[in-house]
Structure 1
C-alpha cells in the first residue's frame, strides 16, 4: 500500500471514529442532565483546555507553539472556537431535552455545506459514486425539511451551520490537531468562562452534584477533545467533500439513539430519508471496491465493441 493510500485509510478511520464518538456522546450529557446546559458548556471548555495543555506539555510542543503562533492562526482558530462553542451548547441542550432527531438533522445539513464549500471554493471534483451519494443526501435533506413537522428548527439550523462552518475552517488550518484545539480552547476559556462565573447559577449547580456525578463531569474534557482531535486529523488527510460525506455517520448514530434511548418517534418520511442517507454512506465506503469493478466492466464492453 502506498503512503498516500495509507494516509487516506488513516483519515477515513479517524473520520469514522470521530463521528461515532460525537454521536454517542449525547448519552454522556444526558447522564448529567441535572446541570443546566450553560454549566456543562463551561466545564467542557475549562476541562478541554486543561487536557489539551497537558497533552502539549507532555509532548514538549507547548512552548514552540506559543513562540511560533501567527496572527492568522489565532484569528482562524478563534472563529472556529466560537462556532464550536455554539455547536457544543446547542448539542448539549438537545441531548438533555430529548431533541436528538433535531440534532441529527443539523448534522445532516452540515456535510452538505462542507461539500458545497469544497466544490465552490477548492474546486474539488467528485467521483461518480460520490456524486450519486451527494445527490441522494441532498434529496433526502430536502425531503426531511418538507416533512419535519413538530421538530425544533432552531436546533438543526444552529447545529448544521456551526458544524459545517467549523469543518471548513479546520480545512484552512495549518496547525497540528492538538495545537489548533489548544488555541480554540484558550480563546473559549478567555471569552466564555468569565461570563459563566459572573452568572454564578451554573457554578452553584455544579456544587450540588453527587460525588459520582462530579467524577463523571471530570471526564468531559476527554469526551470533548478526543472526537475533535480525530476530526482534525482526518480533515488534514481527506478532501472536504469526503469529510462531508463521512459526517453522515454522526446523524445516523443520533437517529438510533433517538429511537432506542430517547423514545422519539420519527414519521415515515424521516425513516425513509435516513435509510437513503445510509445507502449513500455505503456507496462512499464501498467506492474503492466498486469503482474498479465497474471500470473493468466498462473496459470489457469497449473491447467487445472493437471486436
Structure 2
C-alpha cells in the first residue's frame, strides 16, 4: 500500500519583506507633515533636491556595502536599464503630484490616491502577473470603482490627484518587481537617471524665480534631509516588492494613507465632503473584506497543516 504524501505546508510570508513593507509605508505616512515644512518652496525644486541628495546618500551606501559590482552589472543589462528608465519616470511623476497636492491643500485627495493604490496593485497583479483574483478582491475592486465614481461626481476637482498617485505608484511597484536588479542598485540607477533633469531644472529655476535652497538655514536643512526621507522608504519598498506577493504588498499599503487621512482632517484642517465620506467608506469596506478573508484563509491553512 502506497504511503500518502504529507499535506503541503502553507506559504509563509517572507518576514524580512514584511518588515521592509511596514517600515516603508510608516515612513511614507509622515511625508505630508515633512513636506508641509517646505510649503513655500517650488514643487519642482523640492523634487529636484530629493533627487540630488538621494543620489549622494545612495552613493555612500553603495560604496559602504560594496555593491559597486552589482551596480555595474545592472548598468550593463539592457532590460534592467529599460525598466529602470520607466520606473524613474513613474516615480518622478508620483513625487511631483504628491508634493503639489500637499502644497495646494489636497492632502485628503493624496491619501485617497494611496488608499486606491492597494486595489490598483491587486488589479495589476491579476492582469499582468497572472496572480489569482478571488471573490473578496473582486468585490473590493468593484467598491473602489464605485467610490471613485461617487467622488468624481460629487467633488471631482481633485480626483485626478488620487488617480495619478494610485496608478503611477502602482505601475512603479510593478516595474520594480520584475526588474532584474537589487533594491539598492535599482534605486541608485533610477536616481542617477533623474539627476541630469533635476540639475537642469535647478539651473533654470535659479535664473528665473530663484532657489529657496541656501536662502534660509531651516529650509536648506529640510531640503537636504529630503534625500534621506526619500531614499530610505524607497529602499525598503523595493526590497519588499521583490520578497512579497504583489497582492500582499498592496494590502500593506493602506498604512500610509490612513496616516495621511488622519493628518489631513486634523493637522491640515481639510474639509471632508459627503462625496469624500462615501468614497472612503466604500474603499475601506473593500479593504476590510480582503483583509478579513485573508486572515480567515491563513488560519484555515495553519489548521489544515
TM-score (norm 2): 0.85
SS in 1 for 2:130: coil
In the alignment, is the contact (CA less than 8 A) between 1:107 and 1:160 conserved in 2? Answer: yes
**1: CA distance between counterparts of 2:186 and 2:25?**
19
In the alignment, is the contact (CA less than 8 A) between 1:197 and 1:203 conserved in 2? Answer: no
**2: CA distance between counterparts of 1:66 and 1:202?**
38
Matches within 5 A, 1:170-249: 170-200=176-206, 201=208, 204-209=211-216, 211-249=217-255
* Correspondence for 1:77: 84
**1: CA distance between counterparts of 2:251 and 2:146?**
14
Matches within 5 A, 1:101-180: 101-149=108-156, 151-180=157-186
**1: CA distance between counterparts of 2:21 and 2:298?**
24
**1: CA distance between counterparts of 2:84 and 2:55?**
14
**Count of aligned residue pairs for this structure pair:** 294
SS in 1 for 2:12: helix
Closer, same or farther: CA 202–114 of 1 in aligned 2, 3 Å:
farther
* Cα drift, residue 286 of structure 1: 4.6
**2: CA distance between counterparts of 1:207 and 1:262?**
27
Alignment of 1:261 onto 2:267: yes
* Correspondence for 1:54: 60
Q: RMSD of the TM alignment (CA)?
A: 2.8
* Correspondence for 2:284: 278
* Cα drift, residue 173 of structure 1: 1.4
Q: Which runs of 5+ in 1 are unaligned?
A: 300-307
* Cα drift, residue 103 of structure 1: 1.3
TM-score (norm 1): 0.84
* Correspondence for 1:42: 48
**2: CA distance between counterparts of 1:240 and 1:88?**
22
